Amino acid sequence: MPVLDMSLQELFSYKGTNPRPEDFDDYWTKALSEMKSLGTGYTLEPADITIPFGTCYSLFFTGVGGAQVHAKLVKPAKTGSKHPALITFHGYKSASGDWFDKLPYAAAGFTVASLDCRGQGGKSEDCSSVLGNTDSGHIIRGLSDSPEKLLYRQIFLDTAQLASIIMAMEDVDESRVGVTGASQGGALSIACAALEPRVARVASVYPFLSDYKRVWDIDLIHQAYAELKTYFRKYDPTHEREHEIFERLGYIDVQNLSPRIKAKVLFAVGLADDVCPPSSQFAAYNKIRSEKEIVVYPDFGHEYLDGLADRIFKFMMGL
């Protein structure tokens, strides 16, 4: 069995390395209060695609900081009873994807929403104003400012706000809402379920944004995490502030949010993943206290995992 950073036995007992801020819970309590003050209002615009079993829309809502946030929305044909919903999150620097990706769930009777993350590849607006580096990635956006200026704070809140909006729709059963995504999408699925505890099911695939210090320690600060090295080189070249920097990153570390999840969780990891190393993912998985299952792909990395889409579909059909 390939071993990138730990044996499988060690992975199942690993609890994470990155420091957790002492005021972590207060930080997110205040953040959620700000988000909830915005309500669950939204607007819809018809999309330029027609399907025989539902309707497609662009959904817009005002997120924290006044940003206009966009999601693709597919509503199934009315059945006269409330139905389940699925919210999907995309990979880093990408977007909500083609309509086609959402249609199997809509055909199965789900409302489907797919978020465009602020400032990435879709239509959502990033209107934040921060001190320091803004040119090399979203992990470090706001890292030189106050913790409230961290961009992923705002994106995490967008996921929870979108979930609340979907749950408030009159034809959606708020107790039957699932979330899923891979890489950044896997991390956002964890964050969403942690911040909106009514989420019933989570399918998180090799999540990003977990245990930053561990990724640093095993020298896998490249590809998705390369911006951390950029930040140190520009703002702390002798690492005098290393602990402070990693502690601040702890506010947006999904392993610290994982214990809040109440949903049933399906997790997937490739043991040859050198983009989001397995130990960083297990740091999040091992802290989940709700019912959970992990699917291990010994020979796979940060790539398509054979058979997993079908498994997730069956998992979500249990809603």
Q: Show which residues are catalytic.
A: 183, 273, 302
Q: How far apart are CA 46 and CA 40, in angstroms?
A: 19
CB 263 within 8 A of CB 290: yes
The CB-side HSE value for 120 (13 A sphere, CA atoms) comes to 24
Query: Residue 95 — φ and ψ, nearest 5°?
Result: -150, -175
CA distances from 319 to 21, 28, 71, 176, 314 (A): 35, 28, 22, 5, 10
The greatest distance separating any two alpha carbons of the chain, rounded to the nearest whole angstrom, comes to: 63
Structure tokens at 98: 């083609």
- The total of other beta-carbon atoms located within 10 Å of residue 222's CB is 12
The CB-based long-range contact list for 185-189 (8 Å cut-off, 24+ gap) reads 185/88, 185/89, 185/90, 185/91, 186/89, 187/254, 188/89, 188/115, 188/117, 188/155, 188/156, 188/159, 189/89, 189/159
